Structure formats: structure tokens, C-alpha cells
Amino acid sequence: MENINEKLSCLVVDDEQPAQWVLTSYISETSNLELKACAFDAMEALEVMKNHSIDLLFLDINLPGLNGLEMLDTLEFQPMVIFTTAYAAYAADSFEYNVVDYLVKPVTRQHFDRAVMRAFEKARLREVTANTDTRYPTTSLELNLGGSTETVETENIVYLQSYGNYVKVFLENRMILATSTTHQLLSQLPQKSFLRIHKSFIVNRKYIKAYSNNSVVAGKEKLPIGISYRQSVVTALNQ
């Protein structure tokens, strides 16, 4: 594999020990990767991520309890992700999460190296984008309306709601139906301003008037907090 100067810190999440062994072996043999930890389920992985900065997540989808996709939905800041699974049928569901790659078990060294190279390419792009965003913060969002587009100011978005293959974007005085997913739009929104509170809802912190362990009042609407999001949402709002 091509020698690259920077290192990526890695977390392996898989409920099968043999699958962990394969990935940790590949990681240990790759000088530009650093293994931080292994986890057998999503909750264990989330605990690891509280204590370690993770650049690259090797994530099985079919996990006990929260599956891999549901785990990503709980994250306010998503690291780069390489899905590893025995089920190719999950590939379509994973596309909306903007993952680096999708590896079907058993994972070969050739496919592992290809995925890691893509991760480094994405890491470099993220660095350039981050530097750009520091100087020019994202203040608008271009919405695909299926045949046309509309640009809205992010500060005017109260909340977003998943609606099948669409997203309802609620402004102060109207609603726009966009062709997208909440996950795709969240990646384009200012991270400090927006918070995912449920698999189906993303809220602009500016419009949060009150909250409890179960719900958030955003603008004039009372929105539910998903059980799997409760701890991260309450922690974020208490900061």
C-alpha cells in the first residue's frame, strides 16, 4: 500500500470475534492506521467514541441491539465509515450515509487496502473543506425539488423531518418538500447549529424553546426525542 504520512485512528465494531481478528490484523499491518479499540455492539462503540477521537470506523451493520445504521443516526459528528457485513443486501440502505466503502465478508486484503486508500482521499478532502468552512461558514442550503432547486438560508430552517424518500424542510412560515435524506442534508448543515434528535428529525438549536427527556419544542412544534438519541441530545443541550 502507498506510504502516506498522516495516521488515521480506527475503531472496529463487530459482534463476531473472527471478523474482528481479520480487520485488526490488516490494521496492524498498515503503518498509516492506528487501532484505538474494538467493540462488540453499538453501545460499547459509543462509549469508546466518548473517550477517543476516531477518524475511521469499521462498522458491521447487523449488530445486536442498535444496528450499524441506527448507531450512525445517533452521532452528531460522524467519522469516516467503512461498512463490513456478510449481507450484500444492506448496500442500498448504506448509500445515504455517505460512507467511504462497503466491504462484504470475508474481507480480503485487496479490498481492505482499496477502502483505506479511499478513506485517506476523503480525509484530505475533509481537511480542505474544513479550512474553507472556517473562512466561509455555510449559511445557505440548496434543496433539490425534483426538477428544480431552491436555496434557503440555514438560519431560517426550524427543523427537518424525514418523509420516505423526501425531507420536509420547515421554515418559520412554510414547508419545502426536498428530494433527499435527512442524513445527506445534515452533512451540509452547520454542525454547531443543528442537532439530530430522532431518526426522522433534525432541529435548529436556535429555535429550541424547551426540552425534556422525551421531547423538544422547536418553534411551535413539539418533536419527539428518539430513545437511542436521548443521552446524546440531553448532553448536547446541557452544554
Domains 8-134 and 140-238 agree in fold: no
- Does the pLDDT value for residue 4 go beyond 60? no
Q: Where are the domains of the chain?
A: 8-134, 140-238
pLDDT at residue number 226: 86
List of residues 6+ apart from 107 with CB closer than 8 A: 19, 22, 23, 26, 84
Average pLDDT over residues 72-96: 78
Most confident range (mean pLDDT) of 86-90, 105-109, 136-140, 144-148 is 105-109
- In CATH terms, the fold of domain 140-238 is OB fold (Dihydrolipoamide Acetyltransferase, E2P) (2.40.50)
CA 128 to each of CA 47, 122, 125, 138, 150: distance values in angstroms, whole numbers, following the listed order: 29, 10, 5, 14, 26
Cβ–Cβ contacts within 10 Å for residue 109, how many?
13
144-180: pLDDT as tens digits: 998 899 999 999 999 999 988 899 999 999 999 999 8
pLDDT digits (tens, 9 = 90+) for 183-217: 888 878 888 899 989 989 999 999 999 998 899 99
pLDDT (0 to 100) of residue 1: 44
Residue 148 pLDDT: 92
Q: What share of the chain has pLDDT > 90, as a percent?
A: 52
**What kind of fold does domain 8-134 have according to CATH?**
Rossmann fold (3.40.50)
Q: Is residue 39 pLDDT above 80, yes or no?
A: yes
Q: What size, in residues, is the chain?
A: 239
**Nearest Cα to Cα of residue 191 among 134, 238, 144:** 134
